[in-house]
């Protein structure tokens, strides 16, 4: 065989092989439109139909539908399905991809995310911090709306709130109060979205109301009423305030409501998940306490006391703006220009023999602030901790703070959480403390007399507004051997 024949035969073989190749390509090289499935950014494979996968997920998740009483279940939030062109015939079945997904991440259902933004506040270390955002999930926005309404009803008088909403509050003619504003301090963002099924998703108002009030769905502590129990006794013995007891047990109208043996009550400590603010316009009558003026006459024997003018309380009509956060008064602003003195107070004047001394006047204690005022917080438990004084507000920043009795200043300094504070030893076993002061007018070792101005009201330390923290201790100084007493027992 000559070389020409060999070359022709080789060329024919190559041409034949090329045709075979071309024939193969024409058979399998048609481009396929498919979908690549990514989970958490990683490819799970290819499928022919995105819709088929979504329908398969929905059909296979019957248990989830029954749990939440819903009609449809969706893909996970971190699942991406992107269209792709491929020549590769190795396509996964819908079930294969579904099985991979269900073993890695939960599926989702349609609902609403409620983001409660944090707010700036001062923590117990005295630092300015922003509280953490909270995210709540609900099937229906109406569940959240109704739970908020329940919280409002817990902290604000229902009838008065309805009149406020409807614009039917009665005009204040003599005394009374009106709601000026009700709002949530936190910014709240509501979004409709698909929610992962492993999140806590609230399906009813009762559960969400409980969480918004107590910060948990865990069962709250219960107490069985015993013979002779009162609401005040039960609350104090379980380290909660009367107000907290009433919020947790809305079946009782007020702290004077009767309990009966065997009755079960709730003792949960409130941890509201947002700050509900109520601003009230209040006009009321308040007594103007008379003061005692003591004069000393060296011509009289020591121990001699003559009352030359009897004291008598007066009466004033006051107008205030009262701000409450979750039912607790946080600030009071008295409109001094509109305060009307109906009956002026008549001061008591006493003449005593001898000179003034540092020992307390056992028969009289001066009120430590101007009148009118508001007691914003009493002695006792509140929000899970013990408040060892009374808080007095409404007289304004810098308004005078008076020594409750004769004595010697033993402390006048700053500490957390009391801010600027003064302690007076009354040399009869009693000590008084005056906290959150704006200014000092006395110093350690100074002898002060009953009713003397010792400082100005302020908001130093751990406070929610301008007020005086006024405490009474017996047997030793505050926090150093003394026993706390209620200052109101002095008056």
What would the two tokens of residue 383 be? 């929000």
Residues contacting residue 180 through CB under 8 Å, at least 6 positions apart: 279, 280, 281, 321
Residue 92 has a pLDDT of: 94
Burial label for 116, CB within 10 Å (0-12, 13-18, 19+), is buried
DSSP 3-state of 152? helix
Q: pLDDT band for 27, please (50, 70, 90 cuts).
A: very low
Residue 268 has pLDDT above 90, yes or no: no
On the CB side of 107, CA atoms within 13 Å amount to: 25
**pLDDT for 369:** 96
The contacts of residue 364 (CB under 8 Å, 6+ apart) are 292, 348, 405, 450
Tell me the C-alpha distance between 476 and 157, whole Å.
42
List, in sequence order, every residue forming a beta bridge with 137; answer none if it has no partner: 113, 201
Residue with tokens 């997920």: 57
Domains in the chain: ranges and CATH: 32-105 (no CATH), 276-490 (2.70.70.10)
For 8, the token pair is 């022709």
What mean pLDDT, rounded, does the chain reach? 91
What is the average pLDDT across 250-277?
A: 94
Q: What average pLDDT does the segment 211-227 reach?
A: 94
345 band by pLDDT with thresholds 50, 70 and 90: very high
The predicted-structure confidence for 348-390, as pLDDT tens digits, reads as follows 999 988 877 899 988 899 999 998 899 999 999 987 789 999 9
Q: Is 455 within 8 Å of 422 (Cβ atoms)?
A: yes
- Report CA-CA distances (Å) from 49 to 36, 54, 84, 107, 122: 10, 9, 11, 19, 55
Extract the runs of DSSP E, i.e. beta strands, from 92-218: 108-116, 120-122, 128-130, 134-138, 176-184, 188-196, 201-202
pLDDT at 24: 37
Instruction: Report the pLDDT averaged over residues 34-53.
Output: 95
Percent of residues, the chain, with pLDDT higher than 70:
93
Question: CA 363, CA 267: separation in Å to the nearest integer?
Answer: 40
Q: Which residue has the tokens 């509050």?
A: 169
> At 426, phi and psi to the nearest 5?
-90, 5
Looking at the chain, the whole-number percentage of residues with pLDDT higher than 90 is 80
pLDDT band at 26 (very low <50, low <70, confident <90, very high): very low
pLDDT at 379: 94
- Give 450's contacts (C-beta < 8 A, 6+ positions apart): 292, 294, 360, 361, 364, 365, 366, 403, 404, 405, 406
d(CA 339, CA 282): 12
The pTM assigned to this predicted structure is 0.83
Q: What is the pLDDT of residue 29?
A: 60
Pick from 333-337, 388-392, 468-472, 487-491: least confident: 333-337
Q: What is the pLDDT of residue 32?
A: 87
Instruction: Compute the distance between CA of residue 44 and CA of residue 46 in angstroms, rounded to an integer.
Output: 7
Q: Are 205 and 146 in contact (CB under 8 A)?
A: yes
Q: What number is the average pLDDT over the span 474-484?
A: 95
Q: Contact, 85 vs 31, CB < 8 A? A: yes
Q: What angle do CA 325, 328, 331 make, to 5 degrees?
A: 75
Tell me: pLDDT of 119 over 60. yes
**Residue owning tokens 């409620």:** 114
Q: How many C-beta atoms lie closer than 10 Å to residue 327's C-beta?
A: 18
d(C-alpha 487, C-alpha 110), whole Å: 56
Closest CA to 212 of 188, 232, 195, 233: 188
pLDDT at 247 over 50: yes
- Residue 11 has a pLDDT of 40
Residues in CB range of 19: below 8 A, 6 or more apart: none
Q: What's the rounded Cα separation, in Å, for the pair 372 and 369?
A: 9
Span 453-459, average pLDDT: 97
How far, in Å, CA of 318 to CA of 285, rounded? 6
Looking up tokens 């101005």, which residue turns up?
Answer: 453
66 Cβ neighbours under 8 A, 6+ residues apart: none
Banded model confidence at residue 164, pLDDT cuts 50, 70, 90? very high
pLDDT of residue 363: 81
Residue 275 dihedral angles phi and psi, to the nearest 5° = -95, 110
pLDDT for 73 beyond 90: yes
């Amino acid at each position: 065989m000559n070389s020409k024949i060999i070359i022709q035969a080789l060329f024919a073989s190559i041409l034949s092989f090329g045709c075979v190749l071309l024939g193969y390509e024409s058979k399998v090289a048609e481009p396929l439109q498919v979908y690549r499935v990514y989970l958490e950014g990683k490819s799970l494979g290819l499928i022919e139909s995105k819709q088929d996968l979504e329908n398969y997920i929905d059909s296979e998740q019957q248990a989830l539908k029954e749990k939440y009483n819903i009609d449809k279940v969706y893909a996970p939030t971190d699942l991406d399905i992107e269209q792709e062109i491929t020549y590769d015939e190795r396509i996964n079945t819908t079930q294969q991809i579904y099985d991979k997904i269900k073993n890695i991440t939960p599926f989702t259902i349609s609902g609403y995310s409620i983001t409660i933004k944090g707010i700036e506040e001062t923590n117990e270390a005295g630092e300015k911090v922003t509280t953490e955002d909270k995210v709540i999930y609900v099937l229906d926005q109406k569940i959240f709306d109704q739970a908020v309404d329940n919280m409002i009803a817990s902290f604000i008088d229902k009838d008065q709130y309805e009149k406020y909403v409807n614009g039917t509050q009665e005009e204040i003619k003599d005394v009374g109060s009106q709601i000026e504003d009700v709002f949530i301090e936190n910014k709240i963002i509501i979004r409709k979205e698909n929610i992962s099924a492993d999140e806590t998703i609230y399906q009813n108002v009762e559960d969400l109301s409980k969480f918004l009030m107590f910060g948990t769905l865990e069962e709250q502590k219960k107490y069985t009423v015993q013979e002779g129990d009162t609401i005040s006794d039960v609350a104090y013995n379980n380290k909660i305030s009367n107000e907290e007891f009433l919020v947790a047990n809305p079946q009782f109208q007020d702290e004077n409501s009767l309990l009966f043996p065997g009755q079960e009550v709730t003792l949960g400590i409130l941890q509201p998940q947002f700050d509900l603010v109520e601003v009230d316009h209040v006009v009321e009558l308040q007594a103007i306490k008379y003061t005692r003026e003591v004069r000393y006459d060296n011509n009289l024997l020591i121990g001699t006391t003559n009352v030359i003018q009897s004291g008598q309380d007066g009466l004033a009509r006051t107008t205030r703006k009262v701000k409450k956060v979750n039912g607790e008064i946080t600030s009071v602003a008295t409109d001094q220009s509109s305060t009307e003195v109906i009956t002026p107070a008549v001061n008591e004047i006493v003449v005593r023999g001898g000179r003034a001394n540092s020992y307390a006047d056992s028969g009289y204690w001066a009120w430590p602030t101007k009148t009118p005022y508001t007691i914003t917080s009493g002695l006792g438990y509140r929000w899970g901790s013990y408040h060892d004084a009374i808080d007095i507000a409404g007289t304004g920043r810098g308004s005078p703070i008076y020594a409750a009795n004769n004595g010697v200043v033993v402390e006048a300094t700053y500490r957390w959480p009391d801010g600027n504070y003064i302690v007076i030893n009354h040399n009869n076993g009693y000590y008084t403390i005056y906290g959150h002061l704006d200014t000092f007018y006395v110093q350690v070792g100074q002898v002060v007399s009953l009713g003397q101005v010792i400082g100005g009201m302020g908001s130093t330390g751990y406070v929610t507004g301008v007020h005086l923290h006024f405490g009474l201790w017996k047997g030793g100084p505050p926090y150093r051997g003394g026993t706390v007493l209620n200052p109101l027992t002095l008056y």
